[in-house]
Chain A
Amino acid sequence: MSDEPLLDVSDLTVSFDFRRRSLAAVSGVSFRLARGERLGIVGESGAGKSVTGFAILNLISKPGRITGGTISFEGRELTALRAEEMRQVRGNRISMIFQDPMMTLNPVLTVGTQMVETIRAHAGVSRRQAEERAVEALRKVYISSPERRLRQYPHEFSGGMRQRIVIAIALLTSPALIIADEPTTALDVTIQAEIMDLLLKLCESERMGLILITHDLAVVSQVTQRIAVMYAGRIVELGETARIVENPSHPYTRGLLAALPQSAARGRRLAQIPGSMPNLTTVPAGCPFSDRCERCESVCRERIPPLTAKDTGCLAACHLLD
């Protein structure tokens, strides 16, 4: 039983129906997450990171829909749940943190009201007890004088404090999994460090699973145990964080890491990947990276490479690696 993964996403495909045709924003994505494990999903804008996160929570709305695959969470198949059951899962077992804290916070209610409502919807406790829990939760995310702060509205807090409050709210129901989509992208580095430090410690102490979605490889490398690299809707590399950072397999992951300034001597030209990631309508046939890959051979343009185990100990989707 303890071997059963917390989350098992298998062959997930999410498509958007456009006027003429339907395009897959996420194609055949599979990964597992153990209880308490932290996984990073990295990739460039439009790679399909957020759509993957939304799909797990069944939050894909028209013109998008899940067109294939399964998502098993704590042994339940999420894609088969009715809307009400799914709301229960979202309210209790999985929490989401967005880049913009105002996606979670209601601007016209005090922070205290919102927290108390969440607690009481989850656990049948009195208002007083709920308030005490809310104070405790704010304290956990280092909000000083929490009793006073509960009476304030979201706009009375700085961006970093709002995101800490969102984390406090996400934790109220003791979820088994947190999906954090670019939670610090809009924040300054000192505030990012504070939030990430907090999130990491809370995940460890509460043994919560984390899916951290970001385009920042360095951030992901500091927080997660495994990384999934997405490109044009597919996972192109999946493996232990340390292995990927030290010895990436896929030509795209290699290119990304090599392009970071810290990979080059100061003042020297950086390694660069030519071109840019295709959008949904221009993905080449075969390997989606083929038109930018310096190793590309004819097989790459013909068949989509499957994600398979490579010598490096990671899974990678590339025809030319052993």
Chain B
Amino acid sequence: MTTATPLLSIRNLVKHFDISGGLLDQLKWRDGRMTRRRTVVKAVNDVSFTVAPGETVSVVGESGCGKSTLARAVMGIYPPTSGEIWFGGERIDSLSPRRMLPYRTRMQMVFQDPYASLNPRMTVRATLEEPVFFHQPNLSRAEVKDRVAEVMRQVGVDPAWADRYPHEFSGGQRQRISIARALVVDPAFIVADEPIAALDVSIQAQILNLLMDAQEERGLTYLFISHDLSVVRHISNRVAVMYLGTLCELAPTEELFSSPRHPYTRALLSAIPRLGRQGFAHLRLSGEVPTPINLPPGCVFHGRCPYAFDPCTREVPRPIVLDNGVALACHGVADGRI
């Protein structure tokens, strides 16, 4: 699976946000001189991985580690600070809006909040027809109507309800509609950013089934973002673990959950709630997550890592690939200590 030509390739992606504000905000009086200081959030730092056709790769990690930023950079919503995004063999991170147009149908995104991502003043029909009219202007009205009805049926929303507005639907149904909006242009690839996080437990299974069914029927490829590790374990072929903008470990799902190698992955997995387990014993990390404004030198995890040794404080660990296909960035593993 990982040897097939990738559909998506992320190469050395860096995304920084300059939050310095206006020039006046940046000026500081320091040591008797006026200095200009920029404040930069280093949200994603040198991340590389690929996604093969038909694969589901999930990105996990704690709040603020850069998952959504990565997703948006892949979708072309945020231009990368440096690095490259390749899709279907072509580099797409620096395309003009016109050259990007075909990719806007092949790549789609589903968001966490179906309330915010649907236009409250548009009926379901209008919401679903709009992208088809835009991307396939040669289709007749009747064809568009059929396409919309078919997609609505596929996501389990009765096409007879097409003339209703988003507020007339429950949260789960609204998420079905935003998935329909992604599917209606017949994409090859979907980025789903926490698509079930806002939904009730009994609805989450419905939406996960819908996503898995759509993948099977349409041969879709997913980049799936979630903080729910039991969901990730269920649906992913491979899992990427991020910490503070950095990729720590990327491994086939079973490898990751049965034998996590990176110290952060180990701590993260030990903390997952498990049905019927007694107590909450877990690998305790000392300290707090540093801010992405002042990234620690060396390994970004070293201040909290129980295995940290000398090189960790100085050098950024380079990713290494183990025999079983697991990619890791950790001095301890590279040095044979872990």
Task: Mark A residues whose CB is within 8 Å of B.
Answer: 44-45, 158, 160-161, 188-190, 192-194, 196-197, 200, 215-219, 221-223, 242, 245-246, 255-257, 259-262, 264, 266-267, 269-274, 276-277
Contact = CB atoms under 8 A, between A and B. Distances in A.
Contacts of A197: 279-282
A196 B280 contact: yes
A200 B280 contact: yes
B273 A194 contact: no
Interface string B272-300: 11111111111011001100000000000
A296 to B, nearest CB: 16
B230 A192 contact: no
Most buried by A among B172, B213, B280: B280
Given A189-B273, A190-B271, A193-B271, 14 more contacts: A189-B227, A189-B271, A193-B270, A193-B273, A218-B230, A218-B274, A221-B273, A223-B280, A242-B276, A245-B276, A262-B234, A262-B275, A270-B205, A276-B202
- How many B residues are at the interface, by size bracket? 35 or more
Given A190-B271, A277-B202, A266 B280 contact: no
A194 B282 contact: yes
Contacts of B279: 197, 200, 222-223
B267 interface: yes
A246 to B, nearest CB: 7
Contacts of A269: 209, 212-213
Nearest to A159: B63
A81 B271 CA distance: 42
A217 B282 contact: no
A259 B205 contact: yes
Contacts of B335: none
Contacts of B268: 189-190
Contact of B202 (A200, A256, A264): A256
Nearest to B286: A144
B212 A261 contact: no
A271 B208 CA distance: 10
Contacts of A161: 288
B104 interface: no
Contacts of B277: 218, 221-222
A217 B208 contact: no
A222 B254 CA distance: 24
A75 B227 CA distance: 43
15 contacts: A158-B288, A188-B227, A189-B227, A192-B273, A197-B280, A217-B275, A218-B273, A222-B277, A222-B280, A245-B276, A259-B205, A262-B275, A267-B235, A274-B206, A277-B202
Interface string B239-264: 00000000000000110000000000
A189 B280 contact: no
A226 B204 CA distance: 25
B267 A190 contact: yes
Contacts of A45: 200
B81 interface: no
A144 to B, nearest CB: 9
Given A45-B200, A245-B276, A276 B170 contact: yes
B162 interface: no
B234 A266 contact: yes
B215 to A, nearest CB: 10
A289 to B, nearest CB: 11
